[in-house]
C-alpha cells in the first residue's frame, strides 16, 4: 500500500491516508489504525485531509475518500457526510476551510461539483453558481485589502473563482494552458498579491 496524504494536527499527531487501507495515526511514538466505522471499515482510499478545530480547540480531522463521502473525526468519533448529507457525489477530491465573520466554512470538491458546510449547518449544500463539474482542487487568496477569492480547479472545465459572491470562469480561451486543474496553491511569498499557482 502507499500513502496518498499526510496531515499534522494540533495535538502533535501525524495522520496518514493510504491508497486502499486504514487511516494511520502516529502520536507520541505510538501507531494506531483509525477505522471509519460504518463507512468502508479498514479499506478506504483517502484522497485528501483537512485539519480543523472543534469548539473547545480540540483537533478535528476531515478525510476526503474515493467512494465513501467525507468523514469527520473529532472527540465524539467519526461522522460521515455523503450524498444523503447534501454532497453532490461521494467521491471527494479536495478540501478547504475558510473563515468569515460567521465562523468557518468547509468546502468539498467532489466528482459532481462543489459543496460547502456553512457555520452552524448540519448539511452540505451545492449553492447556485457553484461548479458542477469534477472539482479537484481548492484554495483561497487575499488581495492587499479585505477581498478574498475562492478558487476551484476542475477536471476539464478550467478554473472557477468566486469574489464578493460572484463566480467567474477561466479556461484555455482566457489563456489557461489546460482546462484540467488538479492542484492549486496561493503564492505564499506574496501573500497579499492575490496570486495563485
> pLDDT value at position 20?
78
> pLDDT value at position 54?
81
Give the number of other CB atoms < 10 A from CB of residue 50: 21
Query: Which of helix, strand or coil describes residue 17?
Result: strand
C-alpha cell at 138: 481548492
**Helices assigned H by DSSP within the chain:** none
Contact between residue 45 and residue 19 where contact means Cβ atoms under 8 Å apart: yes
Mean pLDDT by 10 residues, the chain (197 residues): 90 90 90 70 82 86 93 90 97 95 93 96 95 96 83 97 94 96 88 79
Q: Which residues contact 70 (CB under 8 A, 6 or more apart)?
A: 62, 63, 64, 80, 81, 82, 87, 92, 95, 108, 124
Q: Which residues contact 84 (CB under 8 A, 6 or more apart)?
A: none
Helix (H) or strand (E) holding 162: strand 159-163
Amino acid at each position: 500500500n502507499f500513502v496518498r496524504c499526510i496531515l499534522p494536527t494540533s495535538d502533535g499527531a501525524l495522520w496518514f491516508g493510504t491508497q486502499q487501507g486504514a487511516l494511520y495515526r502516529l502520536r507520541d511514538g505510538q501507531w494506531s489504525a483509525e477505522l471509519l466505522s460504518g463507512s468502508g471499515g479498514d479499506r478506504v482510499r483517502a484522497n485528501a485531509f483537512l485539519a480543523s478545530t472543534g469548539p473547545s480547540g480540540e483537533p478535528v480531522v476531515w478525510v476526503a475518500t474515493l467512494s465513501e463521502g467525507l468523514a469527520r473525526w473529532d472527540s465524539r468519533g467519526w461522522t460521515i457526510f455523503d450524498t444523503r448529507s447534501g454532497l453532490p457525489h461521494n467521491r471527494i477530491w479536495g478540501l478547504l476551510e475558510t473563515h468569515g465573520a460567521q465562523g468557518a466554512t468547509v468546502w468539498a470538491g467532489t466528482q459532481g461539483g462543489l459543496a460547502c458546510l456553512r457555520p452552524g449547518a448540519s448539511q452540505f449544500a451545492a449553492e447556485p453558481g457553484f461548479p458542477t463539474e469534477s472539482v479537484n482542487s481548492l484554495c483561497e487568496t487575499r488581495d492587499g485589502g479585505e477581498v478574498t477569492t475562492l478558487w476551484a480547479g476542475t477536471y476539464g472545465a478550467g478554473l472557477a473563482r468566486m469574489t464578493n459572491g460572484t463566480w467567474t470562469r477561466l479556461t484555455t480561451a482566457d489563456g489557461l494552458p489546460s482546462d484540467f486543474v488538479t492542484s492549486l496553491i496561493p503564492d505564499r511569498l506574496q501573500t497579499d498579491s492575490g496570486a495563485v499557482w
